[in-house]
Structure 1
Amino acid sequence: MSVVILYGTETGNCELVADAISDVLAVDHDPSIYDMSEFAVEDLDPADFLVVVCSTYGEGELPTGAEPFAEELDSVDPDLTGLRFAVFGLGDSVYGETFNRGGEIMAEMLTKRGATQVGEHARHDNSSTVKPAKQASEWAQTLAPIIEPLTTN
């Protein structure tokens, strides 16, 4: 079992968040980080634990960096039964009901194919004073007990 961190970003903030999550999870795991635009859907392994870091762009759309992965998910339509994943979304509450929609879209796409979302769906608000990497580090600490049972089998 591996921990795979995928990030989809427009401006690069998600990559920084993915690094912060990786730093926390590296204590007990050896996470791999990939840009969604460079990750093949067929490389998703239900035995792995997936962490999705995704921003929201425009009026509630996926960022440019997540679009190739999302399009490939639609075209390949893999069976992801058994895959467990957690989501850290980035957005800005000034956008109202489309706040953090990018992470929600990714979660919907994965669960539609049989994957199971676990843990808290984290939603960073760019209008807050909390830095995204700090919130991500704290959130990643809550993932360790969720991931751990898979590593002891």
Structure 2
Amino acid sequence: MSVVILYGTETGTSELVADAIADVLATDHDPSVYDMSEFAVEDLDAEDFLVVVCATYGEGEFPTGAEPFADELNEVEPDLAGLRFAVFGLGDTIYGETFNRGGELMAELLTKYGATQVGEHARHDNSSAIKPAKLAAEWAEGLSPIIEPVSAN
């Protein structure tokens, strides 16, 4: 099964995280990594498994790299029924209530249009000693087994 990994970033950390996830998933899957700002909503395919890596910027908003994709989702209002996705969010607990809000907002948008979130919603805390790519690799290990589509039997 093909895995599409989309990242939305402000400083580049989400891209590093997306690459770390792709490295782990490449063992059993066929991952492709794309910048959200360069990915068209019409290219979303229910036959693929979607992994979203999204930072949080400002006061709980999308990073600049995720805004065009989010805007396009709202403009196109696609039917994403059948699309399964998982989210790895990045944020910092020093921002309290808006911690990791970018990933949560993207999950809300995707589910609004019919996609189904699966697996653990990972939330990296930049205030922790854990490096984001390390946490992402560990998370991807747990994600790999649930990527395969549910049997239609």
TM-score tier, shorter chain, comes to over 0.9
After superposition, where does 1:89-128 map in structure 2 within 5 Å?
Answer: 89-128=89-128
Aligned equivalents of 1:150 and 1:17: distance in 2? 27
Partner of 2:24: 24
**Structure 1 segments of 4 or more deviating over 6 A?**
none
Aligned equivalents of 2:90 and 2:140: distance in 1? 15
- Secondary structure at the counterpart of residue 102 of structure 2: helix
After superposition, where does 1:1-150 map in structure 2 within 5 Å?
Answer: 1-149=1-149
Letter in 2 for 1:47: E
- Secondary structure at the counterpart of residue 60 of structure 1: coil
With the length of structure 1 as denominator, give the TM-score of the two structures.
0.97
Distance apart, 1:110 and its partner CA? 0.2
Distance apart, 1:150 and its partner CA? 5.7
User: Deviation per CA, 1:100-135, whole angstroms, max 9, x where unpaired?
Assistant: 000000000000000000000000000000000000
> How many residues in Structure 1 have an aligned counterpart in Structure 2?
152
Letter in 2 for 1:125: D
- Secondary structure at the counterpart of residue 87 of structure 2: strand
- Secondary structure at the counterpart of residue 64 of structure 1: coil
Unaligned 5+ residue runs, structure 1?
Answer: none
Aligned equivalents of 1:132 and 1:141: distance in 2? 14
Distance apart, 1:149 and its partner CA? 4.3
Aligned equivalents of 1:147 and 1:71: distance in 2? 27
With the length of structure 2 as denominator, give the TM-score of the two structures.
0.97
What RMSD, in angstroms, separates the aligned Cα atoms of the two structures? Answer: 1.3
Aligned equivalents of 1:78 and 1:148: distance in 2? 23
User: Deviation per CA, 1:34-64, whole angstroms, max 9, x where unpaired?
Assistant: 0000000000001110000000000000000
Distance apart, 1:28 and its partner CA? 0.7
Aligned equivalents of 1:138 and 1:52: distance in 2? 16
